[in-house]
Amino acid sequence: MPNGNRKTQRDIARMLGISRSYVSRIEKKAIGKLGKSLSAEDS
C-alpha cells in the first residue's frame, strides 16, 4: 500500500468481527477474480 498502512488478516478479522480464516477465503476469492479480470483485459 502506498501509505504504508498495512493490516494483517487478523487485524481485518477483528475490525469486521469475523474469523481470520473467513478473511483468508475472501482474500483468495478476490485475488482470483482480479486475476481473471486482468487476463481478460490481455485478450
Per-residue pLDDT tens over the stretch 4-13: 799 999 999 9
Any idea which residue has 478473511 for its cell? 23
What is the signed CA dihedral for 9, 13, 14, 20, rounded to 10 degrees? -70
Query: Which residues contact residue 27 at a Cβ distance below 8 angstroms, ignoring those fewer than 6 apart?
Result: 9
pLDDT for the residue numbered 43? 72
Residue 30 located in a structural domain: yes
Per-residue pLDDT tens over the stretch 20-43: 999 999 999 999 999 999 998 877
Angle ∠(41,27,6) on CA atoms, nearest 5: 105
Please give the residue range of the domain that contains residue 27: 9-42
Residue 24 located in a structural domain: yes
Residue 22 located in a structural domain: yes
How much is the pTM?
Answer: 0.76
CB-count exposure of residue 26 (10 Å: 0-12, 13-18, 19+): middle
Residue 1 located in a structural domain: no
Overall domain count for the chain: 1
